Amino acid sequence: MPNHMSAERATKRANKSHRRRWIAPVVIVGVLLAVYLGGVAVFSFVFMPHTTLDGADVSLKTASAVGSQKSDAVAALQTHVTGNGVDLTVFGSDIDLTCDGASYARSALTQVSAWAWPVEVTRTHDLSAEAGVSFDHDKLAALLAPAMDESRQAASEDSGDVISYDSSSASFALDDRVIAQYLDVDAVAGVLSTAFAQHAASVVLGDECLSTGGSIEDAVAQANAYVQAATTLTLADQDVYNVTADQIAGWVTIADDLSVSLDTDAIATWCHGELSELLDTVGAERTYTRPDGVVETVNDGSAAFGASVYGWLIDGETAADELAAAIQAGQPTTLALPTLQEAAQVNPGGQDWGTRYIDVDIPAQHIYFYDNGTLIWDADTVTGQPSLNRGTPTGVWTVTNRLSGNINLTGPVNAETNEPEWDSHVQFWMGVVRNIVGFHNAPWRSTFGGQIYTWNGSHGCINLSYADGQSLYDLIQVGDVVVIHN
């Protein structure tokens, strides 16, 4: 019996020892599970350590606290609004601005799993969430109304254009004085909703906030395409004029319906007018230096025989068409100007003929024939008598014809006698002013030069001795330039 009791007690002691061995782990697991579940519960409404939300530190803050803070911050927001003729500060209190801070905080909180908190608490979290804001649209419209009304008033009083040109930037842009009348309040509200949600201190209203934004944007783009087409005009491969953005802007027309066009009539007027005055040299005054160093000025004077013939003449009509096409292409380019007549060189206001020419110096009563800067012939002369309105026509001309032999020069028919006013026979004729005035020998004269022309001058022709007439005839060619000046 004693042995049996001893065995039973030994068994009981063994069972108690076994129970103590598995109770400890169960307790530990239970504690850990309780801690874990507690953490899940906590981080289901508290943000993890090392967490920022839209840049603000929310570590270990409750979602409700963060939500309340967000709602208060949004309500107190103020944003400076500019663009499209608007310049005002919108306060959240002015438009009853509110925010669902609770949803905002919950949305951010769920971005990190509370069930993974043992790992997540060791990490850094930079969170962002959408903060749905709302406000009274009517109150926003009331804030915008003054700017819109002022814009309409400016457009009415000043005939302001929605799109205007700024020479400092060489471009067209919306005119803030009148653009506000096209504001789309709903579109502005959408932009401000985003700005308020992001706590933006300022916002610039763009084309998306205009009721005709697409049309205006297209018009600005089209107008600027024109002014970007700066064009260099050339004559004889030489740059002679730069058509600038400022000049092109003056030819751009923007209608009330925002259609953009190029005023081709204005371009034609400019080509026929200002451009022709600048580049056309036929009949224009020109100053030049003769090879002997004397500076002379030639012009058409009284132009009793019509404008002189030598020089540049641009084709204004074709030039206008080509310039308009170049601008409409919208790219900078170089345009060779079409011409009706060309000269030897481009030199507005100066010598545009070549180095071979005949210079008739009326005051000196002397003629010089230069070729490549070398004097190849010269002679005294007698020109037209100015006191009888028979002065030799000045200007830049060319030799039209040359004849030799027995040449009969007759004047206009006298109505009383029915006979020519003069009938002269010469041996050499070289026409200059059409076939009316020219060089010829004058057998009836024995002396030339000096002041003879003032009291016994010709009827307008350029008189020479027989020998000088013959030698000039041998040198001269049809097309040679003749410069006649006082």
The dihedral formed by the CA atoms of 9, 15, 20 and 22, expressed in degrees to the nearest 10: 170
Paired strand residues for 395: 484
**Three-class secondary structure of residue 375 per DSSP:** strand
Q: Dihedral of CA 254/257/260/266: which sign?
A: negative
Q: Are 229 and 329 in contact (CB under 8 A)?
A: yes
337 half-sphere exposure, CB direction, 13 A CA radius: 31
- Per DSSP, the three-state class of 416 is coil
Which residue among 125, 440, 459, 485 is the active-site one? 440
Give the CA angle between residues 77, 80, 85 to the nearest 5°.
Answer: 145
Q: Contact at 8 Å (CB) between 248 and 332? A: no
Q: Which of 99, 209, 461, 485 is labelled catalytic?
A: 461
Contact between 296 and 485 under an 8 Å Cβ cutoff? The reply is yes
Burial of 26 (0-12, 13-18, 19+ CB in 10 A): exposed
Q: Which strands sit side by side in the sheet containing 202-204, from one edge to the other?
A: 86-91, 78-83, 202-204
Query: Do 212 and 179 touch, CB atoms closer than 8 A?
Result: no
Q: Is 60 left (phi over 0), alpha (psi -120 to 50) or beta?
A: left
Alpha-carbon 267 to chain mean position: 16
Q: DSSP alpha helices (H): ranges in 134-182?
A: 137-158, 176-179
Whole-number Å distance between alpha carbons of 42 and 435: 115
Residue with tokens 């004729």: 429
Q: Rounding to the nearest 10 degrees, give the CA dihedral for residues 74, 79, 81, 87.
A: 130
DSSP reduced 3-state for 218: helix
Q: 45: burial class by Cβ within 10 Å (0-12, 13-18, 19+)?
A: middle
Could you identify the residue written with the tokens 């911050």?
A: 73
Q: Are strands 401-410 and 238-243 parallel, antiparallel or unpaired?
A: unpaired
Residue type, 446: S
The first and second tokens of residue 179, run together, are 């653009």
**Rg of the chain (C-alpha set):** 49
Torsion angles phi and psi, residue 408, rounded to 5:
-105, 120
209 is catalytic: no
Answer for the pair 192, 81: CB distance below 8 angstroms, yes or no.
yes
Catalytic positions, written as ranges: 440, 461
